[in-house]
Amino acid sequence: MRRERIRATPSWRRSTDRYDCVFVVTDPAEHGMRSLHVARVKLLFSIKHAGVVYPCALVEWFERVSDEPDGRTNMWVVEPDLNMDGSRNMSVIHLDSIFRLAHLIPEYGEESVPVGLKPSDSLDAFLTYFVNKFADHHAHTIAY
């Protein structure tokens, strides 16, 4: 694979918003998911300083729930990284730290999914998410 398109737009195809999730390399010394964090891209932009353009992304972080994959599914589980006031932990990162797209599956639990829940709201509606290792071959070999 040579290229992927990361979307961060408040209106996707004249419909709801679309903010893609990505794997961000945070510890190159580790392997697999231990070297990565999952983040949702909220804004793509660039900064020019001293004649150099820095491509950046504003991201919302997810943190691993455990140091090991889930015992039932063998998939990593993440949850939104929240500040003390309950807001999402956000930061600006360089685009070079983004490794590739990630796909999250909500951990639905025992309750029914609310009627009328839009796909664009799914990353805000649940407490935890599985990092989908079955999204494609690359996701499986990279994170697991």
Give the tens place of pLDDT for each residue, 103-118.
999 998 888 888 888 8
Beta strand pairing call for 52-64 and 104-106: unpaired
CA distance 108 to 51: 48
Q: What is the pLDDT of residues 27-51, one digit of tens each?
A: 999 988 999 999 999 999 999 999 9
* pLDDT, average across residues 73-78: 94
Name the H helices within the chain.
122-125, 137-143
Using an 8 Å Cβ cutoff, are 78 and 129 in contact? yes
Which tokens in the block code for residue 9? 């737009």
Which domains does the chain show, CATH number per domain?
Answer: 8-143 (2.30.30)
CA distance 136 to 138: 6
What are the angstrom distances between the C-alpha of 21 and each of 7, 60, 111, 131?
9, 9, 25, 10
CA 4, 5, 11 angle in degrees (round to 5)?
Answer: 160
